[in-house]
């Protein structure tokens, strides 16, 4: 960290320290990094927090020059790439509810709590189904939008690390990670979410009626179509984290959203799947 601070200071660059979610042991590992920032951080240094414990660590430090950013791991939203396709079937329609196009940062109470903790910026993904425009009272904190990859979920159990392992050690958190994600990326398909022919819209059903048999409830397919012919949603797995990737049309839509919402004044571009 000292070398990174010195490198940025000599070039008058700003520095961003991106921190993950951590265990108690991980908090101890982050503390020396924050100590180095206390004395050597370039002006305008940011610390991105994805763990409430790390946020408390940063908030308790005396370096008032650090800019604290809420990471997208703590900014909740419907990121599942299957959501735009499945639709709210329990409501009998296809239009996603507005709640599916909102995020934690659009809650006034949540933003009040963040400001009290010293948060000055929020990072967000652009979900596949898009996001509602911000109301005027939702624009008190700056936003950074990540494109084109969005983070679905992450956890301590790594399916990639479990490949080839015996059942007894397949799913506990590994004591030592062999980091297969440095060499491999998994693409997972969910073809059973796609609407089958004749099942474009599920009807509302009264209690005293029956569901017409021409509407297929279970869309699970018995065989995978060829990869190039399958437009089903994709999950991208890198290590213990699932991502999705916006196509060109959705990236254009996300850029339009950024232009309409001036609080979103930064775009974070990942040319490849984030590690």
Mean pLDDT of 205-212: 48
Q: What's the pLDDT score for residue 161?
A: 79
Q: What's the pLDDT score for residue 221?
A: 52
Q: Are 49 and 19 in contact (CB under 8 A)?
A: yes
Tell me the per-residue pLDDT of 56-92, one tens digit each, with 9 for 90 and over: 999 887 666 889 999 999 999 988 887 765 555 444 4
Tell me the per-residue pLDDT of 214-268, one tens digit each, with 9 for 90 and over: 444 444 455 667 778 777 778 898 888 899 999 999 999 999 999 999 999 999 9
The label of the residue with tokens 């007894």 reads 168
Please give the model's pTM, rounded to 2 decimal places: 0.81
Contacts 24+ apart (CB under 8 A), 31-35: 31/57, 32/1, 33/1, 34/58, 34/61
Tell me the per-residue pLDDT of 125-138, one tens digit each, with 9 for 90 and over: 999 889 999 988 88
Q: Where are the domains of the chain?
A: 71-269
């Amino acid at each position: 960290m000292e070398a990174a601070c010195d490198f940025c200071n000599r070039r008058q660059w700003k520095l961003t320290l991106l921190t993950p979610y951590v265990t108690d042991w991980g908090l101890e590992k982050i503390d020396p990094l924050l100590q180095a920032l206390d004395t050597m951080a370039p002006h305008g240094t940011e610390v991105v927090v994805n763990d409430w414990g790390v946020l408390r660590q940063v908030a308790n430090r005396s370096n008032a020059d650090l800019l604290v950013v809420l990471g997208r791991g703590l900014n909740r939203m419907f990121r599942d790439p299957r959501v735009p396709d499945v639709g709210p079937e329990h409501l009998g329609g296809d239009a996603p509810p507005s709640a599916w196009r909102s995020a934690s940062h659009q809650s006034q109470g949540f933003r009040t709590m963040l400001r009290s903790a010293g948060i000055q910026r929020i990072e967000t993904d652009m979900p596949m189904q898009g996001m509602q425009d911000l109301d005027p009272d939702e624009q008190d904190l700056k936003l950074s939008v990540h494109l084109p990859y969005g983070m679905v979920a992450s956890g301590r159990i790594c399916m990639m690390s479990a490949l080839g392992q015996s059942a007894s050690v397949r799913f506990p958190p590994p004591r030592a990670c062999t980091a297969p994600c440095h060499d491999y990326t998994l693409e997972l398909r969910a073809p059973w979410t796609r609407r089958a022919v004749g099942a474009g819209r599920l009807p509302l059903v009264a209690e005293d009626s029956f569901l017409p048999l021409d509407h297929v409830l279970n869309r699970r397919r018995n065989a995978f179509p060829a990869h190039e012919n399958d437009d089903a949603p994709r999950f991208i797995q890198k290590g213990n984290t699932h991502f999705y990737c916006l196509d060109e049309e959705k990236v254009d839509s996300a850029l339009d959203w950024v232009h309409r919402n001036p609080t979103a004044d930064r775009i974070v571009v990942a040319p490849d799947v984030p590690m």
